[in-house]
Structure 1
Amino acid sequence: MSDDVELALRSTRVVTPEGVRAATVTVVGGTIEAVLPYEVGVPAVDLGDDALLPGLVDTHVHVNDPGRAEWEGFWTATRAAAAGGITTLVDMPLNSLPPTTTVGHLRIKRQAAQGRTHVDVGFWGGALPGNVKDLRPLHEAGVFGFKAFLSPSGVDEFPHLDSTQLACSLGEIAGFDGLLIVHAEDPSRLTDAPAGPAYAGFLASRPHAAETDAIAQLLHLARRSNARVHVLHLSSAAALPLIAAARAEGVRVTVETCPHYLTLSAEEVPDGASEFKCCPPIREAANRDLLWQALADGTIDCVVTDHSPSTADLKTPDFATAWGGISGLQLSLPAIWTEARERGHQLTDVVRWMSARTAALAGLDRKGAIAPGRDADFAVLAPEDTFTVDPARLHHRNPVTAYAGKTLHGVVKSTWLRGQRVYSEGEFAEPKGRLLTRTG
């Protein structure tokens, strides 16, 4: 142990890659130096029986800043993340204005974020019709990969790719071994949702086949080009056999799902409650059970929020016209932990899904584990404590949540970024987040 230890945290439940154990974690220069026996003789912050987790890494967040900062923004998004135990997020290339589809637009995005992030923030680029020439420069500028839609995105400035355009973008990205992350719904399978407050009509407008057909097309092109691809926010379990078979054949595909698909169900959505509206949609409880099985067997790699907020006025009672997106940054950890513990999973599983594998997806090799050499990013969680979700107490810019009134297990007591406490018991330090690039 070095004489330069600047911080030590001691807990009876430290979640490490080898499992949960009593330990003392020492920090030097913002980096984890060692994971030592619990009884080691070093002055330490004693966390008692609260669990010490690696900070979560959320690779699917729409911050919407600049351009639609009234929907969210770097200041509020990263505060909500810190309050939820998330220490790193990767921002989607939409719904900001401009979208992150050129190096110049990336520069504007980074300027908007500078000095306003309470956690570390990286950026995805976007793959649009006509911007193939911009993909390699964006990759060299440090984006973590490229997002594409196979169906309309919901905002005019980010159009979707048809099959020819998808193949062209994939070929370019494969040339520098980049990563394409894909909103996979087939537009030919989508219909206009009927006007009105009934959720059933909206759900029927985005059937399982929309996902399975789009994913089949993506897997075919990925196989042909040997490209790395990632399926975003999988909601339909019907696509799981396709994914498993492609992976067995050597296709380089990873898959995520989201807390709302794992903890909510179509059967419980009240009429007019468009805070539950997202695309692809929240499906039936039986489908949810199959997603949990796929998480357990590794077919689904990770869990991310797809935090996609809007102002409250856009969440109208009409499922046909309401904005489609769910705010979840602050609540993702307790929401998943609440359901996971009921299904017999452990904190080690939650950390694998929400920290280790998300860090690996983005190539963030200093994140995602309590291990020597990693960034000293931590979340302190009281796993047995409960709270009832009050939208007014959330740190998202707009207090709209599908979890309102739900009682959840797991209270985030504090959050630490490179050995500095950035959140504790409802209070925030000055922003200490860094803007990350793929190259360092």
Structure 2
Amino acid sequence: MTYDLIIKNGKVILETGAVETDVAIKDGKIAAIGFNLENGKQTIDAKGLIVSPGMIDAHMHLTEMGPRSDWEGYETGTRAAAKGGITSCIEMPLNQMPATVDGKTLKMKLDAGQGKLSIDVYSFGGLVQNNVSKLHEMAEMGVPVFKCFIATCGSGHPEDFSDVDDFVYYEGAKEIARLNKILAVHAENAIICDELGRIAKESGQTSAKSYVDSRPVFTEVEAVRRALYLADVAGCQLHVCHVSCPEAVEEVTRARQAGQNVTCETCGHYLAVDLDDFEKIGNAAKCSPPIRDKDNQVRLWEKVMKGEVDLVASDHSPCTPNLKEGTVFEAWGGISACQNTLDVFFDEAVQKRNMPLTQFARLIAGNPAKIFHLEGKGTIEVGNDADIVLIKPNSPYVLKAEDLEYRNKMSVYVGRKIGAQVAATIVRGNVVYELGKGIVNPHKGKFLKTR
């Protein structure tokens, strides 16, 4: 057989372990794995490189449509993702307007992105205050998961996303269970966080610490507990988004041990940036739940290393520079992160903390594919899509703003020394990015759906 591409001599992360072997690709699929594979139309010598499943970013915001289209569209967002070793993402139903809350708005988004994708994109559906009867439309169009907020969100614009009260959360969870889909939740206690934030703002507090103190750990833990209990009563599979503290992970672990079908994620910035960094970086590091202190980060790492966290995502949530101006309470809360989630996490997890390569691959690819039922994704095995990232270990570089593919060149990682680099990103057999050359083959991505 003649293959389209052979990756030779790299350390390949398989589910059973990392081995030095070759990977052959044909027609966008992994066709063979073994030693001394030959007859490739193209060959990549991966000697000294890690050959990993491409990252599946299960939490990414893009804003192709509406008044926020200058924040981050499909063109720049998916180019940045490809440069960062991401081969697929699940795109959030916000921050674009109109938000993705029914079949019509989902179709609008899919139409708007045609021909602009450099990676494969799945879409979240949205659960908001008045759309439980519309959830089936998005399920029938192949969304793998629905997102809701039990924290305050949205601008009040009629086309913007909105949070749900406990009754709609419960009713939505029942309907999502009936549809055999998954509910993902942003869990913070809205009333307490909003009131603490109002008090801090009115008293003139402006430090990063004052913002973090307005969203204390117990507000996240309480909301996770409530989300877990109501989802369990509704019989709905639950995924807890962007967990920032080990206490919230413990709630998920306890529920899972009791038999509940629940998973959770954390994000690269919670593991790589702490409150002291937030104070130095400024509003670019504002997000919710917030970046917390070093002790919290150390204990969160313990949960990750023990396997209590199911996946690592970027929560790429960009905006324009002017929205990061003003005091910390006035600034937009979101971090531009997708381009550097993988290399920073590899550096922090594998190189600094000796995480096994198999665990690394599960957290960035295998588990997201399994949890969200993304067929043919997440692992390097014969028959799967050839979604692969080549990682160059022990190759430190300092990130500069001009290195970013984002529409707006902001990142908490600018100026950071990162100890590994993405050497190449391959999407269904297409080499999309190469170190030293940049994006070499854009627009090879597709919108995908689940059954």
SS at match of 1:142: coil
Is the 1:65–1:112 contact (alpha carbons within 8 Å) kept by the matching residues of 2? yes
Which residue is equivalent to 1:30?
A: 28
SS at match of 2:30: strand
TM-score relative to the length of structure 1: 0.96
Which residue is equivalent to 1:143?
A: 143
Q: Counterpart amino acid of 2:52?
A: L
| TM-align CA RMSD | 1.4
- The correspondence of residues 202-221 of structure 1 with structure 2, limited to 5 A, is 202-221=211-230
Which residue is equivalent to 1:48?
A: 47
CA deviations 1:36-90 (Å, max 9, x no partner) are: 12x3444432121111111110010000121222100000000000100101011
User: How far apart, CA to CA, are the structure 2 residues paired with 1:267 and 1:434?
Assistant: 40
Q: Counterpart amino acid of 1:51?
A: I
User: How far apart, CA to CA, are the structure 2 residues paired with 1:40 and 1:106?
Assistant: 43
- Is 116-125 or 13-22 further displaced after alignment? 13-22
Q: Counterpart amino acid of 2:328?
A: F
User: How far apart, CA to CA, are the structure 1 residues paired with 2:307 and 2:233?
Assistant: 24
Q: Counterpart amino acid of 1:69?
A: S
User: How far apart, CA to CA, are the structure 1 residues paired with 2:100 and 2:151?
Assistant: 18
Is the 2:183–2:237 contact (alpha carbons within 8 Å) kept by the matching residues of 1? yes
- The correspondence of residues 379-394 of structure 1 with structure 2, limited to 5 A, is 379-394=389-404
- The correspondence of residues 403-418 of structure 1 with structure 2, limited to 5 A, is 403-418=413-428
In the TM superposition, residue 375 of structure 1 has moved relative to its aligned partner by 0.3
SS at match of 2:431: strand
TM-score relative to the length of structure 2: 0.94
User: How far apart, CA to CA, are the structure 2 residues paired with 1:323 and 1:433?
Assistant: 29
In the TM superposition, residue 271 of structure 1 has moved relative to its aligned partner by 5.8
- The correspondence of residues 71-90 of structure 1 with structure 2, limited to 5 A, is 71-90=71-90
User: How far apart, CA to CA, are the structure 2 residues paired with 1:430 and 1:167?
Assistant: 42
SS at match of 2:93: coil
Identity score, percent: 33
Q: Counterpart amino acid of 1:423?
A: Y
Q: Counterpart amino acid of 1:392?
A: E
User: How far apart, CA to CA, are the structure 2 residues paired with 1:329 and 1:137?
Assistant: 29
User: How far apart, CA to CA, are the structure 2 residues paired with 1:215 and 1:83?
Assistant: 33
Is 1:306 matched up with 2:315?
A: yes
CA deviations 1:340-392 (Å, max 9, x no partner) are: 12122133322111111111222112111111111011111101111101112
In the TM superposition, residue 228 of structure 1 has moved relative to its aligned partner by 0.3
Unaligned 5+ runs, structure 1:
none
Which residue is equivalent to 1:12?
A: 10
1:254 is aligned, of 255, 260, 263, to 263
Q: Counterpart amino acid of 2:62?
A: V
Q: Counterpart amino acid of 2:360?
A: V
- Is 408-417 or 305-314 further displaced after alignment? 408-417
SS at match of 2:98: coil
CA deviations 1:219-257 (Å, max 9, x no partner) are: 111221221010000002122222111111111110000
1:174 is aligned, of 165, 173, 177, to 177
User: How far apart, CA to CA, are the structure 1 residues paired with 2:112 and 2:37?
Assistant: 44
In the TM superposition, residue 196 of structure 1 has moved relative to its aligned partner by 5.1
Is the 1:124–1:147 contact (alpha carbons within 8 Å) kept by the matching residues of 2? yes
Which residue is equivalent to 1:186?
A: 189
Unaligned 5+ runs, structure 2:
none
Is the 2:243–2:249 contact (alpha carbons within 8 Å) kept by the matching residues of 1? no
User: How far apart, CA to CA, are the structure 2 residues paired with 1:147 and 1:430?
Assistant: 29
User: How far apart, CA to CA, are the structure 2 residues paired with 1:344 and 1:89?
Assistant: 26
Which residue is equivalent to 2:19?
A: 21
SS at match of 2:139: helix
Is the 2:70–2:407 contact (alpha carbons within 8 Å) kept by the matching residues of 1? yes
- The correspondence of residues 10-409 of structure 1 with structure 2, limited to 5 A, is 10-37=8-35, 39-43=36-40, 44-67=43-66, 68-156=68-156, 157-190=160-193, 191-192=196-197, 193-194=200-201, 195=204, 197-270=206-279, 273-340=282-349, 341-409=351-419
Q: Counterpart amino acid of 1:144?
A: P
Is the 1:355–1:368 contact (alpha carbons within 8 Å) kept by the matching residues of 2? yes
SS at match of 1:414: strand
User: How far apart, CA to CA, are the structure 2 residues paired with 1:40 and 1:32?
Assistant: 13
User: How far apart, CA to CA, are the structure 2 residues paired with 1:430 and 1:267?
Assistant: 38
Is the 1:32–1:371 contact (alpha carbons within 8 Å) kept by the matching residues of 2? yes
Is the 2:375–2:450 contact (alpha carbons within 8 Å) kept by the matching residues of 1? no
Which residue is equivalent to 2:443?
A: 431
Q: Counterpart amino acid of 1:127?
A: L
In the TM superposition, residue 159 of structure 1 has moved relative to its aligned partner by 1.4
User: How far apart, CA to CA, are the structure 2 residues paired with 1:263 and 1:166?
Assistant: 32
What is the total number of aligned residue pairs between the two structures? Answer: 436
User: How far apart, CA to CA, are the structure 2 residues paired with 1:12 and 1:65?
Assistant: 37
In the TM superposition, residue 97 of structure 1 has moved relative to its aligned partner by 0.8
Q: Counterpart amino acid of 2:413?
A: Y
Provide closer, same or farther for how the CA distance between residues 104 and 18 of structure 1 changes in structure 2, counting only shifts above 3 A: same
Provide closer, same or farther for how the CA distance between residues 69 and 81 of structure 1 changes in structure 2, counting only shifts above 3 A: same
User: How far apart, CA to CA, are the structure 2 residues paired with 1:430 and 1:368?
Assistant: 21
